[in-house]
């Protein structure tokens, strides 16, 4: 199946899933008197002080991500924070505008800027995602354990049970991936010195060369596992990052006031985790899954009125996507790039190149 056909088919599937999810969400008794006028009024009355605080915190998350990437990159090459910060903003802006294909922009852009292999940066990207997954699960567990959940209706209690089950599965998968990566890293020298692993020797000569190149570059990207100082820094920065992410939600709730302002920071963290799960079904440039999951969590877990929950879901999406995309467009002009060129960089960097040097 051609790439464009697969992409459009995926978008259709995502759109259908989002429509069904929104329909299911709206069939509850409390949604029958829903009013868009009330949604607009709740957004119009938002407190600008808390909105500015949420905006500043959103930008701070990209600074923290840049420092974390530098800690991961240190064993391979010393780098300044600025190009890594630009890479974070451009990468996430690409995700918001292009969907999941934009994931490759960050490692590809940084690999080109820092003159290192794409596979080493892809390994860092994978490590970053694993750290994020673990801290998301920790936030989720903390919020479910000691957070003030109020799942009154039967469907809300079912939602709590389901999300707890999903959280447990994610935690087990995270631990399995960490174990595999640690084993992989402990055998790094063997992989460097021993040539192609036995289980890959069925490949052609060219295939073995590519596999060797990938494995050695991947090992370089996993160096941080044996560097305890950088490991400690990366864990600390990850913890700070997810505290800031939850704080963006908390500030946004306070900006809207009313019932939302009474929600605790842990409640905001639970809505954050729910929204992240919703991002598994996203339409490029629009979102959808994020907003539906945030609205469902606010209404199902905390009995927030449908209009208020909808306004919060819309405003949350704006607070995380618009600042990133706006700054991303400015940085594109500054760098003399376009998103099409960034996509081309991703394809170019992803293509194996035996002569590529770290």
User: Using one digit for the tens of pLDDT, what is the confidence trace for 78-103?
Assistant: 889 999 999 999 999 888 887 766 78
Are the C-beta atoms of 91 and 102 separated by less than 8 Å? yes
Q: Which residues pair with 288 in a beta bridge?
A: 282
Q: Report which of residues 346 and 14 the model is more confident about.
A: 346
Per-residue pLDDT tens for 22-55? 544 455 544 444 455 555 666 677 788 998 999 9
Top pLDDT among 127 and 324 is at 324
**pLDDT of amino acid 154:** 55
Tens digit of each residue's pLDDT (9 = 90 or more) over 130-153: 888 888 888 887 777 666 655 455
| C-alpha 69, offset from chain centre | 14
Tell me, letter by letter, the H, E, C secondary structure of the chain.
Answer: CCHHHHHHHHHHHHHHHHHHHHHHHHCCHHHCCCCHHHHHHHHHCCCHHHHHHHHHHHHHHHHHHHHHHHHHHCCCCCCCHHHHHHHHHHHHHHHHHHCHHHHHHHHHHHHHHHCCCHHHHHHHHHHHHHHHHHHHHHHHHHHHHHCCCCCCCHHHHHHHHHHHHHHHHHHHHHHHHHHHHHHHHHCHHHHHHCCCCHHHCCCCHHHHHHHHHHHHHHHHHCHHHHCHHHHHHHHHHHHHHHHHHHHHHHHHHHHHCCCHHHCCHHHHHHHHHHHHHHCCCEECCCEEHHHHHHHHHHHHHHCCCHHHHHHHHHHHHHHHHHHHHHHHHHHHHHHCCCHHHHHHHHHHHHCCCCCCCC
Q: Is the pLDDT of residue 345 over 90?
A: no
What's the pLDDT at 55?
94
Task: Please write the tens of the pLDDT for every residue from 251-276.
Answer: 999 988 888 888 889 889 988 988 88
Residue 130 is predicted with a pLDDT of 82
The larger pLDDT score, comparing residue 290 to residue 159, is at 290
pLDDT, the chain, mean: 74
Please check the confidence at residue 358 and state whether its pLDDT lies above 50. no
Give the C-alpha separation, 298 to 309, whole Å.
Answer: 6
Q: pLDDT tens digit string along 292-317? A: 888 888 877 788 887 888 888 888 88
The more confidently predicted of residues 278 and 237 is 237
User: What pLDDT score does 276 carry?
Assistant: 85
Q: What is the per-residue pLDDT for 308?
A: 82
pLDDT at 302: 82
Whether residue 63 has pLDDT greater than 90:
yes
Contact 226, 182 (CB under 8 A): no
- Residue range 318-330: mean pLDDT, rounded: 89
- Give the residue among 55, 185, 56 at the shortest CA–CA distance from 127: 185
């Amino acid at each position: 199946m051609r790439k464009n056909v697969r992409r459009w088919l995926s978008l259709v599937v995502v759109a259908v899933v989002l429509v069904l999810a929104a329909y299911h969400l709206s069939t509850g008794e409390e949604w029958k008197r829903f009013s868009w006028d009330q949604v607009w009024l709740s957004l119009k009355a938002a407190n600008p002080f808390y909105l500015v605080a949420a905006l500043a915190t959103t930008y701070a998350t990209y600074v923290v991500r840049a420092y974390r990437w530098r800690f991961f990159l240190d064993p391979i090459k010393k780098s300044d924070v600025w190009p890594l910060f630009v890479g974070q903003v451009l990468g996430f802006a690409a995700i918001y505008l292009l969907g999941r294909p934009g994931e490759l922009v960050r490692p590809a852009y940084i690999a080109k800027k820092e003159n290192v292999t794409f596979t080493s940066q892809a390994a860092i990207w994978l490590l970053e995602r694993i750290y994020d997954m673990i801290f998301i699960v920790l936030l989720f567990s903390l919020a479910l354990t000691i957070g003030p959940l109020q799942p009154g209706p039967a469907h809300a209690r079912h939602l709590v049970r389901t999300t707890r089950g999903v959280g447990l599965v994610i935690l087990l998968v995270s631990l399995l991936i960490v174990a595999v990566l640690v084993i992989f890293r402990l055998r790094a020298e063997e992989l460097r010195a021993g040539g192609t692993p036995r289980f890959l020797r069925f490949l052609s000569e060219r295939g073995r060369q590519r596999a060797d190149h990938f494995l050695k570059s991947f090992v370089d990207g996993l160096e941080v596992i044996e560097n305890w100082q950088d490991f400690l820094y990366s864990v600390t920065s990850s913890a700070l990052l997810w505290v800031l992410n939850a704080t963006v939600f908390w500030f946004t709730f306070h900006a809207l006031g009313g019932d939302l302002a009474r929600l605790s920071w842990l409640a905001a963290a639970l809505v954050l985790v729910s929204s992240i799960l919703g991002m598994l079904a996203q339409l490029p440039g629009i979102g959808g899954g994020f907003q539906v999951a945030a609205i469902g969590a606010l209404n199902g877990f905390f009995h927030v009125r449908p209009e208020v929950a909808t306004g919060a879901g819309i405003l949350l999406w704006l607070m995380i996507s618009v600042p990133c995309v706006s700054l991303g467009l400015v940085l594109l002009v500054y760098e003399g790039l376009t998103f099409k060129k960034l996509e081309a960089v991703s394809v170019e960097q992803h293509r194996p190149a035996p002569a590529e040097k770290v």
